[in-house]
């Protein structure tokens, strides 16, 4: 007589799959699915193996690439994310002017998802000069006042890391000219790696007026590979390029705007062996005067028609409804034949309850920023009772965001939070 089969015993704990039984690939895939880098770093103390995987120089880049891939898939499918941190956030930074001295001394993080500060820097006072992704380039005002030389700091306000560059050998200029966007910071990929050893450039414009004798724009460039500043002359079209108005970094190139003229420079062409005079890349002429911006790797021109040197604004009878004419062009840098294309022309409207609005406002390029991933969202300062507003060219609505005193507001920048914070670069010893 055959014996009945034995009933298997159920082990409620001994045969379970344990985390330490997973191979490295499976474990890293689980870590990639955590909502943000802060959560991942909190897992480092679990054991030596976890700490080794997370500390690997390639982990941060793989974590970032995974987040980008997931975000792209979610946007393509139209579904949302379970974690709000699955998408990179960003801030608007305002450089405020001191009430005691007419110089920009204070940096405030106006909008965004984090409370950030620059108080950890060693200098007494500093001002935000430019930003690149989540890195901030600051300058020390007091060294400029005392020695006529700017000391720059590259810092990440999220991780509170910082590094001081050697003094920049620029000619002493009036501090009021600091409102002109004459400086640029650019890092060469893969800067998202946890390694600090990546190439970067800091470009300081030595003179905003073009040298008529040589038809060049004077630059001072800090080269990270040699740890020194190098003076460079950038040859530009003499007839079109009169005086520098602004600089914008886009897709690894620094663009310089003057009137309707636009030229570019690959800052990594500047090295210890290059000539002292370089030829600028001449871009298609701008379609109209306006503010040069960057969004999603494309160049934009934002303009508002003016009459009598003032932006033309219409109001309702109660003077609480504003209508702002807007025009915007885009230059797709991925096309073989570069040409400016108009993407918006129309009127945006906004309502302020209980507030009287002024007539004839003047838009300023230093006080306009575009959403880094959506070129239809424009943030700007309107001197209508000193309001910062969001202009949505897709819906045509102007939404008031925050009241800011115009007399203290100098300039705004954007700070793009990365899925993994960028390490400040290591300097050559």
Which domain CATH number covers 158? Answer: 2.120.10.30
Tokens (6 digits) for 128? 């935000």
Count how many domains the chain has: 2
The packing angle between helices 24-32 and 48-55, to 10°, is 70
Which one has a higher pLDDT value, 169 or 363? Answer: 169
Can you give the residue range of the structural domain that contains 56? 23-85
18 belongs to a structural domain: no
Distance CA 187, CA 9 (A): 61
Of 41, 67, 85, which residue sits at a domain end?
85
Which one has a higher pLDDT value, 186 or 245? Answer: 186
327 belongs to a structural domain: yes
Q: Do 381 and 402 sit in the same domain of this protein? A: yes
292 belongs to a structural domain: yes
Q: Do 246 and 389 sit in the same domain of this protein? A: yes
Q: Do 34 and 174 sit in the same domain of this protein? A: no
Q: Do 111 and 255 sit in the same domain of this protein? A: yes
Q: Do 227 and 334 sit in the same domain of this protein? A: yes
426 belongs to a structural domain: no
Q: Do 239 and 388 sit in the same domain of this protein? A: yes
Q: Do 59 and 174 sit in the same domain of this protein? A: no
- Reported confidence tier of residue 16, pLDDT bands at 50, 70, 90: very low
Q: Do 75 and 220 sit in the same domain of this protein? A: no
10 belongs to a structural domain: no
391 secondary structure, DSSP code: E
Distance CA 292, CA 299 (A): 7
428 belongs to a structural domain: no
Give 144-203 pLDDT, tens digit per residue. 666 667 789 999 988 889 999 998 876 555 444 444 468 899 998 766 555 678 899 999
Q: Do 60 and 108 sit in the same domain of this protein? A: no
Output the CA–CA distances (angstroms, integers) from residue 388 to 95, 290, 363, 381, in the order listed.
14, 19, 12, 4
Q: Do 160 and 259 sit in the same domain of this protein? A: yes
Give 110-155 pLDDT, tens digit per residue. 665 556 777 888 876 677 778 999 899 988 766 666 666 778 999 9
Q: Do 99 and 40 sit in the same domain of this protein? A: no
Q: Does pLDDT of 336 surpass 80?
A: yes
- Reported confidence tier of residue 59, pLDDT bands at 50, 70, 90: confident
DSSP string, 133-202: TTEEEEEEHHHHHHHS-B-EEEEETTTTEEEEPPPB-PPP--GGGGGS--EEEEE-S-TTSS-S---EEE
Instruction: Give the per-residue pLDDT at 309.
Output: 47
């Amino acid at each position: 007589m055959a014996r009945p089969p034995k009933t298997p015993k159920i082990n409620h704990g001994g045969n379970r799959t344990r985390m330490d039984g997973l191979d490295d690939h499976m474990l890293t895939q689980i870590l990639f699915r955590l909502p943000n880098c802060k959560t991942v770093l909190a897992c480092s103390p679990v054991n030596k193996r976890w700490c080794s995987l997370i500390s690997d120089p390639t982990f941060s880049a793989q974590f970032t690439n995974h987040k980008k891939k997931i975000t792209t898939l979610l946007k393509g499918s139209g579904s949302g994310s379970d974690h709000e941190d699955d998408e990179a956030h960003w801030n608007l930074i305002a450089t405020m002017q001191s009430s005691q001295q007419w110089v920009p001394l204070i940096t405030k993080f106006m909008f965004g998802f984090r409370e950030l500060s620059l108080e950890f820097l060693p200098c007494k006072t500093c001002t935000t000069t430019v930003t690149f992704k989540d890195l901030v380039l600051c300058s020390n005002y007091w060294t400029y006042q005392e020695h006529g030389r700017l000391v720059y700091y590259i810092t990440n306000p999220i991780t509170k890391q910082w590094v001081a560059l050697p003094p920049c050998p620029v000619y002493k200029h009036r501090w009021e000219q600091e409102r002109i966007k004459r400086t640029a910071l650019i890092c060469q990929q893969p800067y998202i790696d946890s390694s600090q050893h990546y190439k970067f450039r800091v470009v300081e414009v030595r003179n905003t007026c073009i040298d008529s004798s040589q038809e060049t724009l004077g630059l001072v460039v800090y080269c990270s590979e040699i740890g020194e500043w190098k003076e460079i002359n950038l040859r530009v079209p003499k007839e079109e390029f009169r005086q520098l108005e602004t600089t914008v970094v886009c897709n690894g190139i620094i663009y310089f705007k003057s009137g309707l003229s636009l030229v570019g420079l690959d800052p990594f062409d500047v090295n210890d062996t290059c000539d002292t005079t370089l030829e600028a890349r001449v871009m298609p002429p701008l379609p109209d005067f306006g503010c040069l911006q960057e969004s999603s790797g494309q160049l934009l021109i934002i303009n508002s028609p003016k009459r009598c040197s003032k932006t033309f604004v219409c109001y309702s009878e109660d003077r609480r409804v504003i209508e702002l004419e807007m025009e915007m062009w885009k230059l797709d840098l991925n096309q073989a034949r570069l040409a400016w294309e108009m993407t918006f022309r129309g009127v945006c409207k906004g309502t302020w309850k209980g507030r009287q609005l002024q007539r004839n406002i003047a838009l300023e390029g230093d006080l306009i920023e575009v959403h880094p991933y959506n070129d239809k969202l424009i943030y700007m300062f309107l001197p209508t009772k000193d309001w910062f507003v969001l202009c949505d060219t897709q819906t045509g609505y102007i939404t008031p965001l925050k009241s800011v005193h115009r007399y203290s507001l100098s300039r705004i920048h954007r700070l793009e939070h990365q899925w993994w914070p960028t390490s400040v670069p290591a300097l050559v010893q």
